[in-house]
Amino acid sequence: MSLSRTQGGLFVPEGAHEEAVRDALRRHDPELRLVPVDSDAYGTRIYKVMRWQGPDRDAQFVLFWADQYGNPHPLSMSIVDAVQLLDRNTRGQVEDPDVRNARLLAERRKDFEYEVDEMTRMYEDHMLERKRSPLFRSKNLQAARNRVRAKTKTNELKP
């Protein structure tokens, strides 16, 4: 067994047996099933939790045991804790996805507006004067223009 660190800094033992996790899920809800899948895409075994709804209906997807980026975690008893957080019958601590997405969009909009304000402050002097370009010109551009001007002057002087 190995230890992994959660986002909150808690060390969690990994490498639980599938049977122990299955039993813990069934103790929480008899309809829950641990579904191990050998994945070629990830090169390892991934785990899903499904809710069995009877022989005449499809199983309902509950959880894919992975991090926030979709990389699968090794099997551990933490999967039971994650399922308990998502349980509709208990008071879970998982935020509604629509509320979370709205908050994320608001944060991104705020960051964008801050960046636009910073760029405005940075180029404000250049944008108010009509004689200058709103963007700074590089030294290489200035040197290239000086070479072209020098070349045209020498061509004009020759009869």
Phi/psi of residue 52, each to 5°?
Answer: -75, 130
22-79 pLDDT per residue, tens: 888 889 888 899 988 888 887 888 899 999 888 898 988 888 988 877 888 888 888 8
- The pLDDT of residue 79 is 87
pLDDT in the model for residue 111 = 95
- Distance CA(59)–CA(79), nearest Å, equals 18
The three-class DSSP label of residue 107 is helix
Q: What are phi and psi of 82, to 5 degrees?
A: -65, -40
Question: How far is it, in rounded angstroms, from Cα 56 to Cα 51?
Answer: 13
The per-residue pLDDT of the chain, averaged, comes to: 81
Q: Using alpha carbons only, how large is the chain's radius of gyration in Å?
A: 30
Chain Cα centroid distance, residue 149: 51
Model confidence pLDDT, tens digit, residues 7-38: 777 776 666 688 888 888 889 888 899 988 88
- Residue 47 tokens read as 């785990």
Tell me how far apart the alpha carbons of residues 63 and 85 are, in angstroms, rounded to a whole number. Answer: 11
> How many CB atoms within 10 Å of residue 79?
20
Is pLDDT of 130 > 70?
no
DSSP state, 158?
Answer: -
56 vs 69: CA distance, rounded Å: 34
Q: pLDDT-based confidence at 158, cuts 50/70/90?
A: low
d(CA 94, CA 72): 19
